[in-house]
Amino acid sequence: MAREFTSIGVVGLGTMGAGIVEVLARNGLDVVAVEVTDAALDRGRGHLTGSTDRAVARGKLSEADRDALLGRVTFAVGLDSLADVDLVIEAVPEHLDLKQRIFADLDKVCKPAAILATNTSSLSVTEISVATTRPDQVVGMHFFNPAPIMKLVEIVKSVVTAPDVVADVEALCARLGKVDVTINDRAGFIANALLFGYLNHAVTMVEGHYATREDIDAAMKLGCGLPMGPLALMDLIGLDTAYEILDTMYRRGGRDRRHAPAPLLKQMVTAGLLGRKSGRGFYTYEKPGSPVVIADELTPAATDPAATTADIHRKIRKVGVIGSGTMAAGILEVLARGGYDVVSITRGAERSARLAESVRTSLTKAVIRGKLEESERDAALERVNWSAALDDLADVDLVIEAVVEELSVKTALFSSLDEICKPGTILATTTSSLPVIECAMATGRPADIIGLHFFNPAPVMGLVEVVHTIRTSPETVATARALVESLGKHSVVCADRAGFVVNALLFPYLNDAVRMVEASYSSADDIDYAMKLGCGYPMGPFELLDVIGLDVSLAIQRELYLEMREPGFAPAPLLEQLVTAGYLGKKVGRGFRDYR
């Protein structure tokens, strides 16, 4: 029989502690909430009342329930008031010496049977536990931010944690409506070990002016369906906390350079830019603690969308699309629906006929789903000219090529286009991994060459990465961006580096997940759970790998590794083996999971 917890102490009422108090009190538990000073206690109480008031305003909590919830919480300064609780959850800043001191004190104050839990994200639960005389009753309870919303709790057991303590804490999580995964004591556990390399990488992108904060965040939201971009998430976590987590993971997790905190983070923390809690981090907030972003000096000036669309239609009327695969079909459908005249070029009449059929089918589906009028479908199809002769591109204003992902094929094509197309025509490649500059230098007009990286399926995905080389003119970038916006899609601008924004941030994370399974730290199922329930990702990494295809993922990861030479980017041997074995994912019925 699991032990019954009636009263629980929470130490530290910051970002996490206040949220944990709310979760406990909401589920009928008495809570003793402890801070270090009266001022900190008032702040902590403010977090709790602010959050519960918002829940009332949104109709998620009745006023009576809020009052009952708050009535279950006793606030106190100092640890002495924790003498009678059954469990303490510690959520003070991420410093080992501070946590060890607090656990030594808790050990003295709390009754012998009490369980002592830490919410640490990266420190060793074992090292914290040995500061007490009851290390077998010490456990990690890693909640996710915001604690009242995120469903996951990682329960971390050390080698000496008693099995009944783990079982009791698991039962408590179930009572709180949380889903737990129980794991051993390793830096970053599951979710943070996979998350923080990615977050730190995004910070280095801002630091290196590779792309703007808005573009990086939009890329990950629209390209991967994440609930927040990495920089907004850093602000939510708190930059001081994020710094400490990275620093600990670097030291405990094998000195992986990807976890060495980006220098910019240290500067921001020193300058007091801690994220939402201080009112300013990567973004600026209405006031400290507020989730509302306000404009600052880095906010891009708003453009008038109506004017942009009119301007771009004056400048770009006719677009060539080369290729007959999935991407070419999607892109020409999007362009034709967007009102552009399109010249489709394939390698023969038969291919053109098949392509025309697939575009018609796709548009008809949109009609059936009520997204398009029949007349609009017919008008869109009328706008496309089907051809097998590159010479038909002589008078187009823009060409987008979506042919096979082979550099020699693309450079030869760009060289021909340079001869055929009128001066001023912009030539774009949809490559997802090859250097755009190679295409540019195959022509005599490198200022007019750009990457337009659409996502699959192009008619559905709202993102296009606009990739400029060191030779692309600002005018070409502006035109490409306006074209993308006129198609109702969001453009993010980035420099010409392997993986651009989305793939460079996504694939190393997927590769790390494979390494975690390879190291037998956790299972594919638990990792998928952790990322979905702890971080709100729409799919876990293994679900996603199976959908993308393991061969495609391996190829992208290889490109990233070859260009960056970052040891942490080396493809996981397990990924290579699965590809060799022909387990390529859903498309063949078997990848990380068996679909047959």
Ligand X SMILES: NC(=O)c1ccc[n+]([C@@H]2O[C@H](COP(=O)([O-])OP(=O)(O)OC[C@H]3O[C@@H](n4cnc5c(N)ncnc54)[C@H](O)[C@@H]3O)[C@@H](O)[C@H]2O)c1
Element (H, E) at 2: none
- Cis link prior to 305 (omega < 30° from 0)? no
Contact assessment for residue 418 and residue 443, using Cβ atoms and an 8 Å cutoff: yes
Contact assessment for residue 522 and residue 243, using Cβ atoms and an 8 Å cutoff: no
Instruction: Report, in Å, the least distance between residue 395 CB and ligand X.
Output: 55
Instruction: Report, in Å, the least distance between residue 540 CB and ligand X.
Output: 19
* Alpha carbon distance 403, 390 (integer Å): 13
Instruction: Report, in Å, the least distance between residue 244 CB and ligand X.
Output: 7
Residue 118 bridge partners (DSSP): 90, 140
Instruction: Report, in Å, the least distance between residue 165 CB and ligand X.
Output: 20
Catalytic residue from among 129, 145, 278, 503: 503
Q: What is the CA radius of gyration of the chain?
A: 27
Backbone angles phi, psi at 559, to 5 degrees: -60, -45
Burial 122-145 (b: 16+ CB within 10 A, else e): bbbbbbbbebbebbbbbbbbbbbb
Instruction: Report, in Å, the least distance between residue 160 CB and ligand X.
Output: 21
Pick the closer one to ligand X by CB: 92 or 205: 92
Element (H, E) at 220: helix 213-224
Burial of 111 (0-12, 13-18, 19+ CB in 10 A): exposed
* Alpha carbon distance 150, 540 (integer Å): 15
Instruction: Report, in Å, the least distance between residue 367 CB and ligand X.
Output: 46
Contact assessment for residue 388 and residue 352, using Cβ atoms and an 8 Å cutoff: yes
Pick the closer one to ligand X by CB: 103 or 592: 103
Q: Which residue has the tokens 């209405």?
A: 286
Residue 432 annotated in active site? yes
Residue 350 annotated in active site? no
* Alpha carbon distance 143, 506 (integer Å): 24
Helices (H), 27-124: 38-57, 63-71, 96-109
**Which residue has the closest beta carbon to ligand X?**
14
Catalytic residue from among 47, 142, 453, 468: 453
Pick the closer one to ligand X by CB: 118 or 429: 118
Pick the closer one to ligand X by CB: 199 or 494: 199
Pick the closer one to ligand X by CB: 17 or 446: 17
Q: Which residues contact 190 (CB under 8 A, 6 or more apart)?
A: 154, 181, 183, 516, 521, 522, 526, 527, 530, 531, 534
Backbone angles phi, psi at 142, to 5 degrees: -95, 100
Instruction: Report, in Å, the least distance between residue 20 CB and ligand X.
Output: 9
Q: How distant, in Å, are the alpha carbons of 52, 56, 168 from that of 59?
A: 11, 5, 33
Pick the closer one to ligand X by CB: 13 or 396: 13
Q: Which residue has the tokens 């391996």?
A: 554
Instruction: Report, in Å, the least distance between residue 45 CB and ligand X.
Output: 11
Pick the closer one to ligand X by CB: 91 or 434: 91
Q: Which residues in this chain contact ligand X in the complex, by CB under 6 A?
A: 11-17, 34-36, 40, 44, 91-94, 102, 119-121, 142-145, 237-238, 241, 245, 277
How many CB atoms are located within 10 Å of the residue 391 CB? 10
Question: Measuring CA to CA, which residue among 186, 142, 109 is closest to residue 20?
Answer: 142
Catalytic residue from among 465, 468, 553, 559: 465
Pick the closer one to ligand X by CB: 248 or 431: 248
Pick the closer one to ligand X by CB: 15 or 472: 15
Residue 95 annotated in active site? no
Instruction: Report, in Å, the least distance between residue 546 CB and ligand X.
Output: 29
Q: Give the HSE-up count for residue 26: Cα atoms under 13 Å, Cβ half-sphere.
A: 23
Catalytic residue from among 432, 491, 511, 522: 432
Residue 214 annotated in active site? no
Q: How distant, in Å, are the alpha carbons of 141, 418, 466, 506 from that of 115?
A: 11, 72, 53, 38
Q: Which residue has the tokens 């923080």?
A: 196
Annotated active-site positions, please? 432, 453, 465, 503
